[in-house]
A and B are shown apart, each in its own frame.
With several copies, the nearest count.
Chain A
Amino acid sequence: MSRMTMIQAIRNAMDTAMGRDDNVVVFGEDVGFFGGVFRCTQGLQEKYGRHRCFDTPISETGIVGAAVGMAAYGIRPCVEIQFADYVYPGYDQIVSEAARIRYRSNNDFTVPMVVRMPTGGGIFGGQTHSQSPEAVFAHVSGIKTVIPSNPYDAKGLLLASIEDDDPVMFLEPKRLYNGPFDGHHDRPVTPWSKHELGEVPDDHYTVPLGKAAIRREGADVTVLVYGTMVHVAETAAQETGVDAEIIDLRTLLPLDMEAIEESIKKTGRCVIVHEATRTCGYGAELAAIVAENCFYHLEAPVIRVTGYDLPYPHAHEWYYFPGPKRVGDALKKVMEAA
């Protein structure tokens, strides 16, 4: 066991995977000698050689396309997109290729690759360093989408993703890289070393894809949440005193529908929280599932607390970010509903 930040846990996961399996290779913009702009791959080139960890040209099309070809060869690329906001040039290779190859070839070719990307705002990154594009992956049949909320899960989920035989989009909430973020940007930063989920086994382990985690048991309202917002939701529950059951989804696809349904059957109320823009965001899918499958248990309208439907603004970042106040208001509102 070591105390790790999320960056260290992610790096440690890749290190572990590369150590166990020669087939695991890591590449992306600035990930080689320098170790990535967030330093997630630091030291891997030195340890495993330039042919297993290297810099690429600035072409997300090329990065994902190369990974698809390599995965079809039989090796396991784990590639980095420098910011999730920059994944779109690689979107065609993800949607039309990675996601479809197993199906269209009837298992003749498969694409066991991972595409890592820092996601989310809260770092004054403006509209192109703050996006949360998970919904445009979750809509695509054939890929999996994973978002950890802490170092322990980050390592376990990343190892599971690398070992998975299907393509995985692995979104890393960059605001959580160095500490859990309660949503109060004006308070001192807490480090992961103070958080129990900052305790990470040094050895190999996995956190299975498709299994949610209950971060807080509660009787009154189910909060469906992932990534940075898990911590914000925890803060909101604490600050409002609402007895919320906080479910950290961890994997958006496959989704742990059973955990969701079970919790809502218990609480009868549901708040959905994400940082991404609302319309057609992943919260829409969650709300739809709840409306379809838990209708008779619902005692109040489902509420979504999300980023507003606009580009992430720079100066007004903290008006945009769905912080503890907004989440707390939703908790109170859903409890007030008859």
Chain B
Amino acid sequence: MSDTPPLSLYVPEPEFRPGDKPDFSNVPIPQAGAAMMPPVDVDAGEIRDLAYTIIRVMNREGEAVGPWADMLDDDQLKEGLEDMLRVRAFDVRMTMAQRQGKTSFYMQCLGEEAIACAFSKVLKPGDMNFPTYRQQGLLLSTDYPMVDMINQIYSNAADPLMGRQLPIMYSSKEHGFFTISGNLATQFMQGVGWAMASAIKGDTKIATSWIGEGSTAENDFHAGLVFASTYRAPVVLNIVNNQWAISTFQGIARGGAATFASRGLGFGIPSLRVDGNDYLAVYAVAKWAAERARRGLGPTLIEHVTYRIGAHSTSDDPSAYRAKEESTSWPLGDPVERLKEHLIKRGVWSDAQHHQMKEMLEAQVAEAQKQAEKNGTLHDGPHSSAATMFDDVYKEMPLHLRRQRQEAGF
């Protein structure tokens, strides 16, 4: 052991910054259809490769290929397209509404629509999602009333959450959507706890936990993996790797050379990496994982590889920290375009139909917005009565809060 030269701190940097011309040709994109589909009761150790590859179904020609293909029929695929377009139309309008001063804040999921929209299709009534703020697709692909989402975003008099929560922090037990937290990652562990409760009770419900790739660095990600693996909780653990965490590229959270999915292997959890912009691939992998959970085989970890095209939130401007053309250079394409092309390839879809559907959905969103505005907007009101802000801190209002409410003049 000879004397060594001075150490220096290595700090990972993204390849491209504003002004650079992004080139992702060095990012290995496995061929569609190439990944095997193991039986659901497989041992994690036998499918380690699936944590390092990308499971893809649609190839560059828009065909669905390989063992993970052929799970959805034409109608289901059209519904998927409609769901994604609805999310996209909703995001556009709500981003605009924030700019117009109708609310304080909004977060879009542009480019990531396939993930939540496809995933929701494998769930059953009674299952529970523990989402982050970028899974509006879980609600917008079900029959949850869009107008209630806007009421929430506007914190208006009809807001189901009484104006208490930041916009987009929806909650709907009935629709299997756990109340969103502003604190990252906490829901990841809670979903595991919820799933354990289902198993404790001998029920058949399963849970899904969601987390961004940046947030995998948080405590609750680790706790979630530990508890899920120890108790074989009936939960699907989803990492949405959209490459960015506000201004921070995924390399800061990922470190080393491994993938986010591979973190599950150290816990003996079957771990899959999937093309998150491929509706068919997400659906197939979700179905596989949900089946494992339902059959009591335990958790599955899924890394959905995608790209955050939009700003982090309406408070953010990504042009300050990433190259302008990154999103268009991104090698996995646009989930909506890709599904559209697949449907056209199948011979059941056309540009005209697509256009018509888009317009129909834009009208649907506009109409919901109109309805919601009847109940008010954040800055102009009306809101729920201010006295209600003292309610529901506890089931029954304790004396000190009764006194404070009185002090406040209510």
Contacts and interface: CB of A to CB of B under 8 A. Distances in A.
A106 B218 contact: no
B160 interface: yes
Nearest to A305: B407
A129 B167 CA distance: 12
A22 to B, nearest CB: 8
Interface in B94-137: 104-105, 128, 130
Contacts of A51: 8-9, 11, 199-200
B164 A106 contact: yes
Nearest to A112: B395
Interface in B319-352: 320-321
Interface string A279-322: 10000000000000000000000000000111101111001100
A124 B167 CA distance: 10
A127 B200 contact: no
A100 B181 CA distance: 9
Contact of B200 (A25, A92, A101): A25
A127 B219 contact: no
Contacts of B183: 85-86, 88, 92, 96-97, 128
B193 interface: yes
B390 A308 contact: yes
Nearest to B156: A315
A319 B389 contact: yes
B165 to A, nearest CB: 5
B386 A319 contact: yes
Contact of A66 (B184, B189, B253, B389): B189
Interface stretch (B169-177, B276-284, B285-293, B359-367): B169-177
Given A65-B186, A101-B179, A314-B165, A70 B252 contact: no
B399 A70 contact: no
A56 interface: yes
A18 B281 CA distance: 45
B394 A105 contact: no
A106 B171 contact: yes
What's the interface size class on A, roughly? 35 or more
B139 to A, nearest CB: 13
A97 B18 CA distance: 38
A108 B172 contact: yes
Given A59-B219, A314-B104, A314-B164, A68 B193 contact: yes
A70 B160 contact: no
B164 A311 contact: yes
Contacts of B193: 65-70, 72-73
Contacts of A258: 399
A75 B201 contact: yes
20 contacts: A34-B321, A51-B199, A57-B227, A58-B218, A59-B227, A60-B218, A65-B220, A73-B197, A73-B198, A102-B393, A105-B161, A109-B178, A110-B395, A124-B105, A127-B165, A128-B183, A253-B400, A314-B166, A315-B156, A315-B378
Interface of A: 22-23, 25, 29-30, 32-34, 37, 50-52, 54-62, 65-70, 72-75, 85-86, 88-89, 92-93, 96-97, 100-110, 124-129, 141-142, 144, 164-166, 210, 253-255, 257-258, 278-279, 308-311, 313-316, 319-320
Interface of B: 8-9, 11, 13, 17, 104-105, 128, 130, 155-156, 159-167, 169, 171-173, 178-179, 181-186, 189-201, 207, 214-215, 217-220, 222-224, 226-227, 230, 245-248, 252-253, 255, 315-316, 320-321, 378, 383-384, 386, 389-390, 392-395, 398-401, 404-405, 408
5 A-B pairs with the lowest CB-CB distances in the bound complex, closest first: A69-B193, A128-B182, A315-B163, A126-B166, A65-B189
